[in-house]
Chain A
Amino acid sequence: MPDVSITGEGVGKSYGTTTALKGLDFSVNKGEIFGFIGPDGAGKTTLFRILTTLLLPGSGKVSVEGYDVVKDYRILRRILGYMPGKFSLYHDLSVEENLRFFAGIFGVDVHENYHLVKDIYSQIEPFAKRRAGKLSGGMKQKLALSCALIHKPVVLVLDEPTTGVDAVSRREFWEMLLRLKSGGITIVVSTPYMDEAMRCDRVALMQQGSIMTTGTPQEIIAAFPRKIYRIKGSGILDILRLTRNMKYIRSAELFGDAVHISTENTDQAPTAGEISQYLSAQGLSGHTIKEVVAGIEDCFIDRMKQQPDKHE
C-alpha cells in the first residue's frame, strides 16, 4: 500500500441551487501524477480550489499530506504549489520580478532555491527582463510553474495547465512534469484533453461533479467491456446512419474520417465480418473495417453514456 498524499471523502460543494461537486471520494498517492480528466464544467476547478484552501468544501473532508484543508490551511499554504487555470501572475512585472516576488512572500531565497526551478526557468531566463504580459502562452506557463515551485512545495496542483497552449509546448510541459515527478513531488493535474490522461499515473474521469471511475489509464482501458471497430470508406455518413440502426450496437461515432462503433457486451453482438456484410448488403461497398483497441476517450464517452441511468 503506497503512502497517501491526498484523500477526499464525500467532497461536495454547491453554489446556490447548482451542485458543482456531488460527494467525491478519491485518494492520491505520494509521488504520482494524478489526473482529473473531464470536460468543462465537470467541477475540476472547484475541486482544485478546495484542495488549495481557496474554497471551503460544502460537505465531506479533504486532507493533503495529513493536514485538513479547513483547519490546517496555514500549514498547507506553505507546502502547496498552485497554478490556476487562468494566468495569474503580474503582467506589468518582469519575469524575474515575478519570480523574486513569489519567492519573497513565501520567505525563501531565489538563489538558494534556484536549483528547484532551474530546469524550467532556464528556458525563459533569456527573457528575464521582459514583462510577463508580453510572453507567449508557453513561456507564461513556464514562468507560472517556476513561481509555483520556488518554495519547494510537497504537492503541486495544476488546474488545466495546458489549455490554450500549442501542441509542442504541451508536450514539453508534460516532460517537465515527469522530471518533477522523479524528484518526488506529488502532482495533481486537471485537463480536458484525453490524450494527456495517458501521461498520468492514475486518473479520475469526472463528469458533472462526480467521479465516474478511477484507476491507471491502462486499467480503465482494459476494463472497457466491448469491442470497437473502425470503419473507413466512402459515404461515411451513410455508414454512420446504417450502423446506428443495427442491433447490439451501443454507439457509432465519427472519429475524424472514420466511424468508430462499439458493440454491446453480448454474444449476439455482430462481428466485423457481419457488419461488413450488412453494409455491403445495403449497397455500401469498398469500406474497410478493423477492430481497434479502445482509447481513453472511448472509455470516457462510454462511461458518460452510462452515467444518467446510474443516478436514476
Chain B
Amino acid sequence: MRTIFYIMQKEFIQVFRNRMMLPIIFLMPLMQLLILSYAVTFEIKNIRLHITDNDNSVASRALLEHFRSSEFYHIFGESADASFGMEQLKKGDIHQQLVILPGFEKQIVTGSTAGVQVITDAINGSAAALMNAYTLSVIESYNREVLSRSPGPPPKQVQVSRRYWFNPALDYKTYMIPGILVLLVTLIGMFLAGMNVVREKEIGTIEQINVTPIRKVQFIAGKLLPFWIIALAELAFGLALAVLLFNIPIVGNIFLIFLVASVYLVVVMGLGLFISTITNTQQQSMFLSWFFLVIFILMSGLFTPVESMPRWALQLNTINPIAYFIRIMRMIMLKGSGFQDIVQPLIYLSVYGITMLSLAVWRYRKTS
C-alpha cells in the first residue's frame, strides 16, 4: 500500500511540476465546450440563395417573401436568367438556387400543380440535405397558406404536431455537451496515463524501477490512480461549466455520472496502458492511441446516430467504450435515467475494464 502511495506522490509532483499541464487541464474543457457547442453546430444559418423569378406574379412574390423574411437565408443574387444563378453556384458563391417557372400563379389559381425548382450545392452532403430540408419546409408552409385561402371546403389532411421529448427545443448543445465531456475524460485517461508509462520507457527510468522489488500491480495502480483522480476532477469541472455557463440541465443523479465515469476510466486507462506496454516510444504509442480514438469517436454516436450504422458497424461498436459512455451520459443527463436503467451497460463496462487492465498488467514485463 505504501509503495503505491510513493508512486502516486511522485506522479502528482511530476504532473503539477510540468508547466504545460495545469493550463491544459483547465483550459481544455473550457475550449472544447466553447468550440464544440458554439462553433461546431448542425444548424445552418446564412444560406446564400440565388432567386430566379420567371413568373413575377403576386403568388411568386408571396413565396419569395417567405425566404426574404427568414433568418436562415441570405438573398445573394436575383436574376431573370436561371443560368446566371448556375454560374454563381459553380463558382461557389451561393449554396442554393430557387427557380420559379413561368405560369406559377396561373397554375395555382386553376388548381393544378405549380412547379418550383431548387438546386443545391452538395459538396458537403450533410449540409446540402439540411439546406434542402429547410427550403422544402419554407415551401411547405407557403403551400398550407395557399390551401387555406382557396375557396370551398378545406381539403382533408393529416395534421402532424411534433414534440421533441428530453430536448424540447431540439437544442444542439444539450445533446453535444454530454458527449464532449466524455471525450474530455477519455483524453486524460487514454493519453496522460498511457503516455506516462511509455515515457518512463523512453527516458530509461523504467530500468531503475524494474530492479526494485515493486510488484507489477503496485506499479500500475500507482500510475493509474493519479490520473483517475485528475480525470474525475476534470469531469466535475466540465460538468460545472456545462451547468453554469451553458445551462445544460442535469436531470439525473450526478453521483451516478461519477460512478459510471470511474468505471469507464478503468476501461480507457487499461487500453492506454496496454498500448504503452506494447510500444517503446511515445510516438508509437501516440499513433496507436489516436488510431483507436478516432475510430471510437466517429462510431460513438457523438456526431451521427448509432442506429443508422450498418449491422457490422453496430457489432463493432460493442467494443467501443466511448459509445457506451456517451449513451449512458445522455441517458442520465437528459433523460434522468436511474441506476436500474444503466446497470446493464455498466456491468459490461466493468467487465471490459477488468479485462483491459488485466491484459495490461499481464503484458507489462519487468524482465525481458
Contact = CB atoms under 8 A, between A and B. Distances in A.
Interface in A67-109: 73-74, 77-78, 80, 82, 84, 86-93, 97, 101-102, 104-107
Contact of B207 (A74, A77, A84): A84
A55 interface: yes
B367 A89 contact: no
B18 A54 contact: no
Given A54-B367, A88-B207, A105 B7 contact: yes
B203 A88 contact: yes
Contacts of B116: none
Q: Could you say which of B13, B17, B18, B205 has the most chain A C-beta atoms within 10 Å of its C-beta?
A: B205
B126 to A, nearest CB: 46
Interface in B4-36: 5-7, 9-10, 13-14, 17-18
A161 to B, nearest CB: 14
A97 B211 contact: no
Contacts of B13: 93, 97
Contacts, number: 72
Contacts of B17: 92
B227 to A, nearest CB: 16
A53 B214 CA distance: 13
B113 interface: no
A69 to B, nearest CB: 9
Nearest to B205: A88
Contacts of A53: 211, 366-367
A47 to B, nearest CB: 14
Residues of B in contact with A, size category: 20 to 34
B213 interface: yes
Interface in A174-209: none
A243 to B, nearest CB: 46
B368 interface: yes
A261 interface: no
A82 B368 contact: no
B212 A102 contact: yes
Nearest to A83: B208
B284 interface: no
Closest 3 CB pairs of A and B: A104-B6, A88-B204, A77-B213
Interface of B: 2-3, 5-7, 9-10, 13-14, 17-18, 203-214, 366-368
5 contacts: A52-B211, A56-B367, A88-B206, A104-B9, A106-B213
